[in-house]
Amino acid sequence: MSKEVKPESVSLNPLGTAAAPESELLCIYGTGDLGRSLGLRLLQSGYRVVYGSRRPHSCGPLPQGAQVMSHAAASQSAGLVFICIHREHYEFLEALAPQLKGKVLVDVSNNLKKNLYPEANAEYLQRLVPGAHVVKGFNTLSAWALQNGPTDANRQVYLCGNSAEAKQAVAEAATKLGFSVLDRGSLSAARELEDFPLQLFPEWRLPLRVAVGLTAFFFFYVLLRDVVYTYVYEGKDISFRIMVSLANKVFPIVSLIMLALCYLPGVIAAVLQLYRGNQIQAFP
């Protein structure tokens, strides 16, 4: 269940009812999946949201309560602008540089591959709009996660940027949305943040190769030992067994070896540690 977050300072008027102060206005460029999910969360967290869009009159359904305008008009009264647009469409922001001067721009973008571009997306954005303070962040969250609010696996927001105040402003918004913020330093860390989402199972190649290699080895071993041997020495053709009996032998063997390869180093380390040290001492 989503919890309603009230604006920070709520003053009571003479009738004793709460008069909420005007909440902060944030701007989002781009009305796509991420823009909409982020807008919804910001509205739920007590912000006012204005979208900047190429087509303010025909951009499809937006979260209730959000306004939508042209890019230039939308960012006019907001200090913080989330750029929820793919990097390849960033060029148009160069023309908006005068309007975006002094504003905090949050670059949420990701790439499909590592090293696709010579510089990080956020650094490119900073180059296009030199007068703005670019902060990289939120890119490790999916639109889905944003919409559903923070869960245990999706609680962290990484930020980096050259201006400490700009980072602080973004960190405040992230905290208000319920995320915990991890500061990763200056904008030169942007590339590292952009690579994060591409790093699911970063070391999958070796285990896959070991599994394929072991499967091939044991398949031929069992084939020779069971089928070819029986055929040569006993004259019986049991090749019909290849598909079932052989697979039934090969897969358990490979699984057990893989499991052993996973656990054995830990067991050996534990034994060594028993004799050579403890968990505080550095491992020999």
Site residues (CB under 6 A) for ligand NDP? 30-35, 53-55, 59, 84-86, 89, 92, 108-110, 139, 142-143
Cβ-based nearer residue to ligand NDP, 146 or 250: 146
Cβ-based nearer residue to ligand NDP, 140 or 227: 140
Q: In what order do the strands lie in the sheet with 25-29?
A: 67-69, 48-52, 25-29, 80-83, 104-107, 133-137, 156-161, 180-183
CB of 16 to ligand NDP, least distance (A): 43
Instruction: Give kind and range of the element (H or E) at residue 156.
Output: strand 156-161
Q: Which residue, among 100, 108, 41, 105, has the nearest Cα to 76 in the 3D structure?
A: 100
Cβ-based nearer residue to ligand NDP, 30 or 161: 30
CB of 60 to ligand NDP, least distance (A): 8
Residue written as token pair 């995320």? 179
Cβ-based nearer residue to ligand NDP, 96 or 222: 96
CB of 82 to ligand NDP, least distance (A): 9
Cβ-based nearer residue to ligand NDP, 37 or 44: 37
Q: Which two tokens stand for residue 264?
A: 């054995």
Residue pair 46/176 in contact (Cβ under 8 Å)? The answer is: yes
Residue of closest CB approach to ligand NDP = 32
CB of 104 to ligand NDP, least distance (A): 17
DSSP three-state, residue 269: helix
Give the distance between the most distant pair of CA atoms in the chain: 103
Q: Which two tokens stand for residue 43?
A: 């509205």
CB of 124 to ligand NDP, least distance (A): 12
